[in-house]
Chain A
Amino acid sequence: IAGITQAPTSQILAAGRRMTLRCTQDMRHNAMYWYRQDLGLGLRLIHYSNTAGTTGKGEVPDGYSVSRANTDDFPLTLASAVPSQTSVYFCASSAEPSTDTQYFGPGTRLTVL
């Protein structure tokens, strides 16, 4: 089934640990995005990639890093997790950067204790 997959579905993590959230799309979309969604704050862009090999910072990039080694994969890494990074993380993709419709993965629920 075409679309975006994310792993894990949920995770409880001790503060200070390193964590990588995985995102894979099979639609051959050029652009990919990572958002976090917190109650009362809506979706906020963490990092984005307009095409394989390039990445950029979004609204809330601190504490997160990304890589885009190929078209399909866009992992998000928390180098040293903190409780304020407890959130729901959504990966999304679009055929072209931003001006096109974005398709979202099912999300990862992360709790940092």
Chain B
Amino acid sequence: RKEVEQDPGPFNVPEGATVAFNCTYSNSASQSFFWYRQDCRKEPKLLMSVYSSGNEDGRFTAQLNRASQYISLLIRDSKLSDSATYLCVVNDGNNRLAFGKGNQVVVIP
């Protein structure tokens, strides 16, 4: 089983709609969790950290479920500029970050 698994998509989302996707991780000792955004042919950039209590940043909400070992990202009121690949990143407990392959989101006008 891979350390971090994501459904690559693409997730085709009408503009203004809500999209949500999960990421599962295999190491129960994982301690830190992040969502990164990567635009085509660009470097990954931190979108938000994921806290145990869940957190929200504008239209973006991230949640952590330790019991089921997954984190989620929800995007409300999708904008065309939200089109990107969203990478799930986990501190795998061995003092290294493990990256998922990403969820590709395409917001359609």
Do chains A and B stick together as partners? yes
- The answer on a CB contact under 8 Å between A90 and B99 is no
Is A67 interfacial (CB-CB < 8 Å)?
A: no
Q: Total interface residues on A, using CB and 8 Å?
A: 20
What residues on B are CB-neighbors of A104 within 8 Å?
43-45
Chain A residues within 8 Å of B, Cβ to Cβ: 35, 40-45, 48, 58, 90, 97-99, 101-107
- The answer on a CB contact under 8 Å between B102 and A42 is yes
Chain B residues within 8 Å of A, Cβ to Cβ: 31-32, 34, 42-46, 49, 87, 91, 95-97, 99-102
What residues on B are CB-neighbors of A90 within 8 Å?
43-44
- The answer on a CB contact under 8 Å between A98 and B96 is yes
What residues on A are CB-neighbors of B31 within 8 Å?
99
**B31, B43, B49 pick with most chain A CB within 10 angstroms:** B43
